[in-house]
A and B are shown apart, each in its own frame.
Chain A
Amino acid sequence: MTVARQQQSQYLDRASSSALVDVVDLILDKGLVIDVYVRVSLVGIEILTIDARIVVASVDTYLRFAEATNRLDIARSGTETHGLPGLMDQIQESGGKKKTKGALEGVKESVSDLLQGDDEEDREPEAEERTRPRRTRGSTSHRERER
Protein backbone atom coordinates (compact mmCIF):
# COMPACT_ATOMS: atom_id res chain seq x y z
CA MET A 1 0.00 0.00 0.00
CA THR A 2 1.57 3.26 -1.06
CA VAL A 3 1.88 6.32 1.09
CA ALA A 4 -0.14 8.27 -1.44
CA ARG A 5 -3.04 5.87 -1.07
CA GLN A 6 -3.00 6.11 2.68
CA GLN A 7 -3.11 9.87 2.47
CA GLN A 8 -6.11 9.62 0.19
CA SER A 9 -7.98 7.55 2.73
CA GLN A 10 -8.52 10.01 5.51
CA TYR A 11 -11.92 8.75 6.54
CA LEU A 12 -11.90 5.22 5.23
CA ASP A 13 -10.04 2.63 7.29
CA ARG A 14 -7.88 0.67 4.84
CA ALA A 15 -5.93 -1.40 7.36
CA SER A 16 -5.85 -5.03 6.35
CA SER A 17 -7.32 -7.21 9.03
CA SER A 18 -6.29 -10.46 10.59
CA ALA A 19 -8.98 -10.19 13.23
CA LEU A 20 -10.61 -13.58 13.46
CA VAL A 21 -14.12 -12.22 13.17
CA ASP A 22 -13.20 -10.51 9.89
CA VAL A 23 -11.57 -13.61 8.45
CA VAL A 24 -14.48 -15.80 9.47
CA ASP A 25 -16.97 -13.41 7.88
CA LEU A 26 -14.91 -13.28 4.71
CA ILE A 27 -14.15 -16.91 4.03
CA LEU A 28 -16.43 -19.21 5.96
CA ASP A 29 -18.96 -20.93 3.72
CA LYS A 30 -17.57 -19.02 0.73
CA GLY A 31 -15.57 -20.15 -2.26
CA LEU A 32 -15.86 -23.05 -4.66
CA VAL A 33 -17.08 -26.39 -3.44
CA ILE A 34 -15.31 -28.68 -5.86
CA ASP A 35 -17.25 -31.88 -5.36
CA VAL A 36 -20.37 -30.20 -6.63
CA TYR A 37 -19.30 -30.40 -10.23
CA VAL A 38 -16.23 -32.64 -10.46
CA ARG A 39 -15.66 -36.07 -9.00
CA VAL A 40 -12.35 -35.96 -7.15
CA SER A 41 -10.79 -37.96 -4.38
CA LEU A 42 -11.63 -35.66 -1.55
CA VAL A 43 -10.10 -36.55 1.77
CA GLY A 44 -12.42 -36.10 4.68
CA ILE A 45 -10.31 -34.31 7.22
CA GLU A 46 -12.39 -33.19 10.14
CA ILE A 47 -13.24 -29.52 9.84
CA LEU A 48 -13.96 -27.65 13.02
CA THR A 49 -17.25 -25.85 12.71
CA ILE A 50 -17.22 -22.26 13.65
CA ASP A 51 -20.11 -19.89 13.79
CA ALA A 52 -19.01 -16.52 14.94
CA ARG A 53 -22.06 -14.76 13.67
CA ILE A 54 -24.05 -14.39 16.78
CA VAL A 55 -26.73 -11.77 16.89
CA VAL A 56 -27.92 -10.89 20.31
CA ALA A 57 -31.48 -9.61 20.53
CA SER A 58 -32.14 -10.25 24.16
CA VAL A 59 -33.56 -8.43 27.12
CA ASP A 60 -29.99 -7.86 28.20
CA THR A 61 -29.19 -6.00 24.99
CA TYR A 62 -32.34 -3.89 25.30
CA LEU A 63 -31.26 -2.88 28.78
CA ARG A 64 -27.77 -1.98 27.59
CA PHE A 65 -29.13 0.13 24.78
CA ALA A 66 -31.54 1.84 27.16
CA GLU A 67 -28.68 2.59 29.52
CA ALA A 68 -26.49 3.94 26.75
CA THR A 69 -29.37 6.10 25.54
CA ASN A 70 -30.01 7.44 29.02
CA ARG A 71 -26.37 8.32 29.52
CA LEU A 72 -26.36 10.30 26.31
CA ASP A 73 -25.77 14.01 26.64
CA ILE A 74 -27.96 15.36 23.87
CA ALA A 75 -26.84 18.96 24.35
CA ARG A 76 -23.20 18.23 23.56
CA SER A 77 -23.99 16.93 20.16
CA GLY A 78 -21.26 15.41 18.09
CA THR A 79 -18.41 15.95 20.51
CA GLU A 80 -18.66 12.84 22.60
CA THR A 81 -16.56 9.98 21.38
CA HIS A 82 -17.44 7.09 23.57
CA GLY A 83 -17.83 5.16 20.35
CA LEU A 84 -18.99 1.67 19.72
CA PRO A 85 -16.32 -0.11 21.72
CA GLY A 86 -17.95 1.42 24.77
CA LEU A 87 -21.12 -0.53 24.19
CA MET A 88 -19.25 -3.71 23.33
CA ASP A 89 -17.27 -3.44 26.54
CA GLN A 90 -20.43 -3.08 28.52
CA ILE A 91 -21.99 -6.05 26.81
CA GLN A 92 -18.92 -8.14 27.50
CA GLU A 93 -18.63 -6.98 31.06
CA SER A 94 -21.98 -8.44 31.80
CA GLY A 95 -21.11 -11.52 29.76
CA GLY A 96 -19.89 -13.38 32.78
CA LYS A 97 -23.13 -13.54 34.62
CA LYS A 98 -25.53 -12.83 31.78
CA LYS A 99 -25.56 -14.65 28.49
CA THR A 100 -24.17 -12.12 26.11
CA LYS A 101 -20.87 -12.30 24.32
CA GLY A 102 -18.90 -10.27 21.87
CA ALA A 103 -18.61 -12.06 18.58
CA LEU A 104 -14.84 -12.45 18.76
CA GLU A 105 -14.95 -13.91 22.22
CA GLY A 106 -17.58 -16.33 21.01
CA VAL A 107 -15.33 -17.62 18.25
CA LYS A 108 -12.35 -18.15 20.44
CA GLU A 109 -14.44 -20.04 22.88
CA SER A 110 -16.10 -22.34 20.40
CA VAL A 111 -12.81 -23.05 18.64
CA SER A 112 -11.06 -23.99 21.83
CA ASP A 113 -14.05 -26.05 22.94
CA LEU A 114 -13.93 -27.96 19.71
CA LEU A 115 -10.20 -28.48 19.93
CA GLN A 116 -10.75 -30.12 23.25
CA GLY A 117 -12.79 -32.71 21.46
CA ASP A 118 -16.33 -31.76 22.35
CA ASP A 119 -19.04 -32.78 19.95
CA GLU A 120 -18.44 -31.15 16.60
CA GLU A 121 -21.99 -30.67 15.47
CA ASP A 122 -23.72 -27.33 15.47
CA ARG A 123 -23.29 -26.23 19.01
CA GLU A 124 -25.78 -23.70 20.20
CA PRO A 125 -24.01 -20.57 21.28
CA GLU A 126 -24.96 -19.36 24.67
CA ALA A 127 -26.54 -16.23 23.35
CA GLU A 128 -30.27 -16.37 23.66
CA GLU A 129 -30.89 -15.94 20.03
CA ARG A 130 -28.72 -16.67 17.06
CA THR A 131 -29.36 -15.89 13.49
CA ARG A 132 -27.30 -16.32 10.41
CA PRO A 133 -27.16 -13.10 8.50
CA ARG A 134 -29.45 -12.99 5.55
CA ARG A 135 -27.60 -12.60 2.31
CA THR A 136 -29.07 -10.47 -0.38
CA ARG A 137 -28.10 -10.81 -3.96
CA GLY A 138 -29.69 -10.69 -7.32
CA SER A 139 -29.23 -14.32 -8.15
CA THR A 140 -29.19 -17.73 -6.55
CA SER A 141 -27.28 -18.18 -3.34
CA HIS A 142 -24.39 -20.58 -2.79
CA ARG A 143 -26.54 -22.76 -0.60
CA GLU A 144 -29.20 -23.29 -3.20
CA ARG A 145 -26.62 -24.25 -5.76
CA GLU A 146 -25.25 -27.03 -3.61
CA ARG A 147 -28.38 -29.08 -3.71
Chain B
Amino acid sequence: MAEDGRACYVYGVVTDDRTDESVKDLPAVGDPEAPVTLVRHGGQAAVVSEVPTGKPLGTPDDLRTHARVLDTLAAQSAPVLPFRFGTVVRDITAVTDELLTEGHDDFARGFERLQGCAQFTVRARYEQDAVLREVVLEQPEAARLREELRGLPEEAGYDQRIQLGRLVMDSIAAKRSVDALELGRRLGPYALASVSEEPSSAEGLVNASFLVEDGRRQAFEEAAEELAEHWHGRVRMRLLGPLAPYDFVADALREGKEGDE
Protein backbone atom coordinates (compact mmCIF):
# COMPACT_ATOMS: atom_id res chain seq x y z
CA MET B 1 0.00 0.00 0.00
CA ALA B 2 2.78 2.40 0.82
CA GLU B 3 4.52 3.77 -2.21
CA ASP B 4 7.49 6.08 -2.44
CA GLY B 5 7.05 9.14 -0.30
CA ARG B 6 4.07 7.71 1.59
CA ALA B 7 3.99 6.34 5.10
CA CYS B 8 1.45 5.29 7.67
CA TYR B 9 0.17 7.73 10.29
CA VAL B 10 -1.06 5.95 13.42
CA TYR B 11 -3.74 7.63 15.56
CA GLY B 12 -4.08 4.87 18.09
CA VAL B 13 -5.25 1.32 18.72
CA VAL B 14 -8.76 0.02 19.31
CA THR B 15 -10.27 -3.41 19.82
CA ASP B 16 -11.12 -5.56 16.83
CA ASP B 17 -14.90 -5.34 17.35
CA ARG B 18 -15.06 -1.90 15.71
CA THR B 19 -16.57 -1.77 12.25
CA ASP B 20 -14.80 -0.24 9.28
CA GLU B 21 -17.68 2.24 9.15
CA SER B 22 -16.67 3.62 12.54
CA VAL B 23 -13.77 5.49 10.95
CA LYS B 24 -15.28 6.07 7.53
CA ASP B 25 -15.59 9.71 6.48
CA LEU B 26 -13.24 10.96 9.19
CA PRO B 27 -10.69 13.52 7.99
CA ALA B 28 -7.05 12.38 7.92
CA VAL B 29 -3.90 14.06 9.24
CA GLY B 30 -1.55 15.45 6.61
CA ASP B 31 -3.64 14.52 3.56
CA PRO B 32 -7.33 15.45 3.53
CA GLU B 33 -7.97 13.02 0.65
CA ALA B 34 -6.59 9.95 2.44
CA PRO B 35 -9.13 7.62 4.05
CA VAL B 36 -8.85 6.69 7.72
CA THR B 37 -8.88 2.90 8.03
CA LEU B 38 -8.55 0.11 10.55
CA VAL B 39 -5.67 -2.32 10.23
CA ARG B 40 -6.55 -5.51 12.10
CA HIS B 41 -4.21 -8.01 13.67
CA GLY B 42 -4.53 -10.39 16.59
CA GLY B 43 -7.85 -9.08 17.89
CA GLN B 44 -6.65 -5.50 17.84
CA ALA B 45 -6.88 -2.77 15.24
CA ALA B 46 -4.66 0.22 14.53
CA VAL B 47 -6.36 3.38 13.30
CA VAL B 48 -4.26 4.67 10.41
CA SER B 49 -4.12 6.81 7.29
CA GLU B 50 -1.51 7.45 4.63
CA VAL B 51 0.62 10.58 4.89
CA PRO B 52 3.15 12.04 2.48
CA THR B 53 6.62 11.84 4.01
CA GLY B 54 7.93 15.00 2.44
CA LYS B 55 5.74 17.42 4.35
CA PRO B 56 6.16 18.33 8.04
CA LEU B 57 3.20 17.59 10.31
CA GLY B 58 1.86 19.86 13.01
CA THR B 59 -0.33 22.50 11.42
CA PRO B 60 -3.35 23.54 13.52
CA ASP B 61 -5.54 21.42 11.23
CA ASP B 62 -3.30 18.39 11.73
CA LEU B 63 -3.64 18.71 15.50
CA ARG B 64 -7.41 19.16 15.33
CA THR B 65 -7.76 16.20 13.00
CA HIS B 66 -5.71 13.89 15.22
CA ALA B 67 -7.95 14.78 18.17
CA ARG B 68 -11.12 14.52 16.12
CA VAL B 69 -10.42 10.98 14.94
CA LEU B 70 -9.60 9.77 18.45
CA ASP B 71 -12.41 11.63 20.19
CA THR B 72 -14.95 10.36 17.66
CA LEU B 73 -13.88 6.80 18.43
CA ALA B 74 -13.95 7.51 22.18
CA ALA B 75 -17.47 8.91 21.89
CA GLN B 76 -18.63 5.73 20.10
CA SER B 77 -17.27 3.40 22.76
CA ALA B 78 -14.23 2.69 24.90
CA PRO B 79 -11.49 1.61 24.91
CA VAL B 80 -9.28 3.73 22.69
CA LEU B 81 -5.51 3.90 23.17
CA PRO B 82 -4.41 7.26 21.73
CA PHE B 83 -0.88 7.59 20.42
CA ARG B 84 1.15 10.74 20.68
CA PHE B 85 0.65 13.19 17.84
CA GLY B 86 3.06 12.53 14.99
CA THR B 87 3.43 8.75 15.26
CA VAL B 88 4.30 7.53 11.75
CA VAL B 89 5.49 4.05 10.71
CA ARG B 90 6.85 2.78 7.40
CA ASP B 91 3.81 1.00 5.97
CA ILE B 92 0.88 -1.30 6.72
CA THR B 93 3.20 -4.28 7.09
CA ALA B 94 5.07 -2.44 9.84
CA VAL B 95 1.71 -1.83 11.55
CA THR B 96 0.70 -5.50 11.58
CA ASP B 97 4.06 -7.30 11.83
CA GLU B 98 5.79 -4.91 14.18
CA LEU B 99 3.51 -2.48 15.97
CA LEU B 100 0.52 -4.75 16.63
CA THR B 101 2.63 -7.89 17.06
CA GLU B 102 5.19 -6.49 19.49
CA GLY B 103 2.76 -4.22 21.26
CA HIS B 104 -0.02 -6.79 21.57
CA ASP B 105 0.34 -7.63 25.25
CA ASP B 106 0.83 -4.03 26.30
CA PHE B 107 -2.20 -2.92 24.31
CA ALA B 108 -4.25 -5.77 25.77
CA ARG B 109 -3.41 -4.54 29.28
CA GLY B 110 -4.39 -1.03 28.24
CA PHE B 111 -7.72 -2.23 26.89
CA GLU B 112 -8.43 -4.08 30.08
CA ARG B 113 -7.69 -1.02 32.19
CA LEU B 114 -9.53 1.48 30.03
CA GLN B 115 -12.52 -0.68 29.17
CA GLY B 116 -15.64 1.43 29.57
CA CYS B 117 -13.70 4.58 30.52
CA ALA B 118 -13.39 7.97 28.87
CA GLN B 119 -11.52 11.13 29.70
CA PHE B 120 -13.33 14.30 30.70
CA THR B 121 -11.42 17.55 30.93
CA VAL B 122 -12.53 20.55 32.95
CA ARG B 123 -11.18 23.97 32.04
CA ALA B 124 -11.98 26.55 34.69
CA ARG B 125 -11.27 30.28 34.49
CA TYR B 126 -11.98 33.14 36.84
CA GLU B 127 -14.40 35.87 35.88
CA GLN B 128 -12.10 38.85 35.96
CA ASP B 129 -14.18 41.43 37.78
CA ALA B 130 -15.54 38.96 40.30
CA VAL B 131 -12.12 37.69 41.33
CA LEU B 132 -10.61 41.20 41.44
CA ARG B 133 -13.48 42.29 43.65
CA GLU B 134 -12.77 39.40 46.01
CA VAL B 135 -9.11 40.38 46.19
CA VAL B 136 -9.84 44.02 46.98
CA LEU B 137 -12.34 43.06 49.67
CA GLU B 138 -10.07 40.45 51.24
CA GLN B 139 -6.75 42.28 51.04
CA PRO B 140 -6.67 45.60 52.92
CA GLU B 141 -3.36 46.39 51.25
CA ALA B 142 -4.94 46.10 47.81
CA ALA B 143 -7.78 48.38 48.86
CA ARG B 144 -5.26 50.85 50.29
CA LEU B 145 -3.18 50.91 47.09
CA ARG B 146 -6.35 51.36 45.09
CA GLU B 147 -7.31 54.38 47.20
CA GLU B 148 -3.82 55.80 46.86
CA LEU B 149 -3.93 55.50 43.08
CA ARG B 150 -7.40 56.95 42.74
CA GLY B 151 -7.27 60.09 40.68
CA LEU B 152 -3.55 59.94 40.05
CA PRO B 153 -2.53 60.56 36.45
CA GLU B 154 -1.31 57.59 34.38
CA GLU B 155 2.37 58.46 34.67
CA ALA B 156 2.28 58.87 38.46
CA GLY B 157 2.20 56.06 40.98
CA TYR B 158 4.11 53.60 38.85
CA ASP B 159 5.55 51.76 41.83
CA GLN B 160 2.16 51.49 43.51
CA ARG B 161 0.68 50.15 40.29
CA ILE B 162 3.31 47.46 40.06
CA GLN B 163 2.82 46.67 43.73
CA LEU B 164 -0.95 46.43 43.34
CA GLY B 165 -0.72 44.30 40.21
CA ARG B 166 1.72 41.91 41.83
CA LEU B 167 -0.40 41.68 44.98
CA VAL B 168 -3.47 40.92 42.88
CA MET B 169 -1.70 38.22 40.88
CA ASP B 170 -0.30 36.64 44.04
CA SER B 171 -3.75 36.66 45.63
CA ILE B 172 -5.25 35.01 42.56
CA ALA B 173 -2.51 32.38 42.68
CA ALA B 174 -3.45 31.62 46.29
CA LYS B 175 -7.13 31.34 45.33
CA ARG B 176 -6.16 29.09 42.47
CA SER B 177 -4.62 26.46 44.71
CA VAL B 178 -7.61 26.48 47.07
CA ASP B 179 -10.16 26.32 44.25
CA ALA B 180 -8.28 23.66 42.29
CA LEU B 181 -8.34 21.48 45.42
CA GLU B 182 -12.05 22.09 45.78
CA LEU B 183 -12.63 21.01 42.19
CA GLY B 184 -10.63 17.83 42.76
CA ARG B 185 -12.51 17.16 46.01
CA ARG B 186 -15.90 17.48 44.32
CA LEU B 187 -15.22 15.59 41.09
CA GLY B 188 -12.48 13.19 42.12
CA PRO B 189 -14.83 10.74 43.87
CA TYR B 190 -16.57 10.02 40.55
CA ALA B 191 -13.35 9.30 38.65
CA LEU B 192 -10.85 6.45 38.62
CA ALA B 193 -7.93 8.83 38.20
CA SER B 194 -7.25 12.51 37.72
CA VAL B 195 -4.49 14.81 36.52
CA SER B 196 -4.40 18.56 36.82
CA GLU B 197 -2.19 21.23 35.41
CA GLU B 198 -1.85 24.92 35.97
CA PRO B 199 -3.51 26.88 33.22
CA SER B 200 -1.43 28.99 30.89
CA SER B 201 -3.30 32.25 31.30
CA ALA B 202 -3.27 34.68 34.21
CA GLU B 203 -6.99 34.29 34.88
CA GLY B 204 -7.07 30.53 34.41
CA LEU B 205 -7.97 28.48 37.46
CA VAL B 206 -7.09 24.92 36.49
CA ASN B 207 -7.19 22.40 33.66
CA ALA B 208 -8.12 19.06 35.16
CA SER B 209 -8.65 15.72 33.44
CA PHE B 210 -10.63 12.83 34.90
CA LEU B 211 -10.87 9.21 33.86
CA VAL B 212 -14.54 8.33 34.25
CA GLU B 213 -16.28 4.96 33.95
CA ASP B 214 -19.42 4.88 31.81
CA GLY B 215 -21.51 3.91 34.82
CA ARG B 216 -20.42 6.96 36.81
CA ARG B 217 -20.49 9.41 33.96
CA GLN B 218 -23.87 10.86 34.80
CA ALA B 219 -22.94 11.36 38.45
CA PHE B 220 -19.68 12.99 37.37
CA GLU B 221 -21.47 15.33 34.99
CA GLU B 222 -24.00 16.24 37.66
CA ALA B 223 -21.25 17.01 40.15
CA ALA B 224 -19.56 19.21 37.56
CA GLU B 225 -22.82 21.02 36.83
CA GLU B 226 -23.37 21.51 40.55
CA LEU B 227 -19.93 23.04 41.01
CA ALA B 228 -20.41 25.27 37.96
CA GLU B 229 -23.63 26.51 39.53
CA HIS B 230 -21.92 27.00 42.89
CA TRP B 231 -19.20 29.07 41.22
CA HIS B 232 -21.52 30.86 38.82
CA GLY B 233 -20.53 34.51 38.33
CA ARG B 234 -17.10 33.86 39.77
CA VAL B 235 -15.66 31.03 37.72
CA ARG B 236 -16.52 29.85 34.23
CA MET B 237 -16.35 26.10 33.90
CA ARG B 238 -16.16 24.18 30.66
CA LEU B 239 -16.38 20.42 30.41
CA LEU B 240 -14.88 18.67 27.38
CA GLY B 241 -15.62 15.03 26.73
CA PRO B 242 -15.97 12.17 26.33
CA LEU B 243 -12.42 12.29 24.97
CA ALA B 244 -9.80 9.66 24.22
CA PRO B 245 -7.81 9.04 27.43
CA TYR B 246 -4.80 11.13 26.41
CA ASP B 247 -3.75 11.78 30.00
CA PHE B 248 -4.24 8.24 31.27
CA VAL B 249 -3.22 5.83 28.52
CA ALA B 250 0.46 5.70 29.44
CA ASP B 251 -0.30 4.96 33.09
CA ALA B 252 -2.83 2.31 32.13
CA LEU B 253 -0.16 0.35 30.27
CA ARG B 254 2.59 0.92 32.78
CA GLU B 255 0.64 -0.02 35.85
CA GLY B 256 -0.29 -3.27 34.17
CA LYS B 257 3.38 -4.13 33.90
CA GLU B 258 3.94 -3.67 37.60
CA GLY B 259 1.21 -6.09 38.53
CA ASP B 260 -2.39 -5.45 39.39
CA GLU B 261 -3.27 -2.89 41.98
Contact = CB atoms under 8 A, between A and B. Distances in A.
A72 B136 contact: yes
B240 A32 contact: no
B249 A84 contact: no
Interface residues on B, range: 35 or more
Contact of A43 (B53, B123, B168, B251): B53
Contacts of A47: 56-58, 85-86
B77 interface: no
A42 B87 contact: yes
A74 B133 contact: yes
A10 B238 CA distance: 11
Contact of A11 (B55, B164, B232, B250): B232
B166 A22 contact: no
A138 B88 CA distance: 31
B84 A134 contact: no
Contact of B225 (A11, A55, A80): A11
Contacts of B25: none
Contact of A27 (B63, B137, B196, B221): B63
Given A66-B162, A103-B200, A142-B250, A38 B168 contact: no
Interface string B124-153: 011111101101110000100110011000
Interface in A42-82: 42-50, 52-57, 59, 61-70, 72, 74, 77-78, 80-82
Nearest to B154: A67
Interface residues of A, number: 87
Interface in B223-261: 224-225, 228-229, 231-233, 236-240, 243-244, 246-247, 249-251, 253-255
Interface string A74-108: 10011011111011100000000000001100011
Contact of B161 (A10, A66, A136): A66
A78 B233 contact: yes
Interface of B: 7-8, 10, 12, 51, 53, 55-60, 63-64, 66-68, 81-90, 94, 98-99, 102-103, 106, 121, 123, 125-130, 132-133, 135-137, 142, 145-146, 149-150, 160-162, 164-166, 168-169, 193-203, 207, 221-222, 224-225, 228-229, 231-233, 236-240, 243-244, 246-247, 249-251, 253-255
Interface of A: 5, 8-18, 20-34, 37-50, 52-57, 59, 61-70, 72, 74, 77-78, 80-84, 86-88, 102-103, 107-108, 111, 114-115, 133-140, 142, 145
Given A28-B63, A31-B85, A41-B89, 13 more contacts: A12-B228, A15-B238, A22-B123, A30-B82, A31-B84, A42-B90, A43-B89, A48-B59, A62-B161, A65-B164, A70-B149, A133-B198, A135-B197
